[in-house]
Homo-oligomer: A and B are copies of this chain.
Amino acid sequence: MTSTEDPIRNGVDTATLFATLDAVRATPEMAKFQFRATNRWVSGTHNQSTLHGFHGATQEMTHKQPFTYDADHPAVLVGEDNGPTAGEFLLHALVACLTGGIATIAAARGVNLDSVDAAVEGDIDLLGTLGLSDEVRNGFEQIRVSFTLRGDNPEKLAAVVEQSRQRSAVFDVLTNGIPVAISVDVG
């Protein structure tokens, strides 16, 4: 990049991006993050999470504001539809991770994006989670993500999506699994 080139591409400040990567290379401890959520049951299947504080870059941090989200079941699943289901938030997490990666990787490679749209589908047979079959798994059987990108040349755009897949935190978690520990205080 020459000194006269605009460092902003796809809304990503590439000067800050490269400076951040250099800083983390110099001090790898900065890359250790902890993300958090708190959740409170409201009634029935309705509950609400708050996302605010996190640890990163060797310090405690917060978002500009606390973000709160309701989850519920629709009436057909014995809820009151005060929010989407947990499974839909999972689909949102996956596509948000991939799309954020696409914009960042494209900017780092000098590839201009005009638009990135995606549709996600997750198939689930509720016989598992409803406890009506031990042969059906509880969760999604498969998830499909369909991206439509417009911008610089098609080959470069396809390569950006592939690189985002290869480095996506949520794609990794969903396809490879992770340990989840649950502790309970029933006072």
Secondary structure type dominating chain A contacts: mixed
Given contacts A139-B172, A173-B139, A182-B145, is CB(A116)–CB(B34) below 8 Å?
A: no
Does the CB pair B117–A178 fall under 8 Å?
no
Q: How many copies does the complex hold?
A: 2
Query: Out of B46, B78, B132, B150, which one reaches A17, CB within 8 Å?
Result: B78
Per-position 1/0 for A170-187, Cβ under 8 A of B? 111111111111111111
The answer to whether A123 has its CB under 8 Å from any CB of chain B is yes
Interface range on chain A (Cβ under 8 Å from partner): 35 or more
Query: Out of B44, B161, B169, B184, which one reaches A184, CB within 8 Å?
Result: B161
Q: How far is the CA of A87 from the CA of B83 in the complex (A)?
A: 19
* Interfacial chain B residues near A154, Cβ < 8 Å: 186-187
Per-position 1/0 for A26-44, Cβ under 8 A of B? 0010011111111111111
* Interfacial chain B residues near A128, Cβ < 8 Å: 167, 169, 172
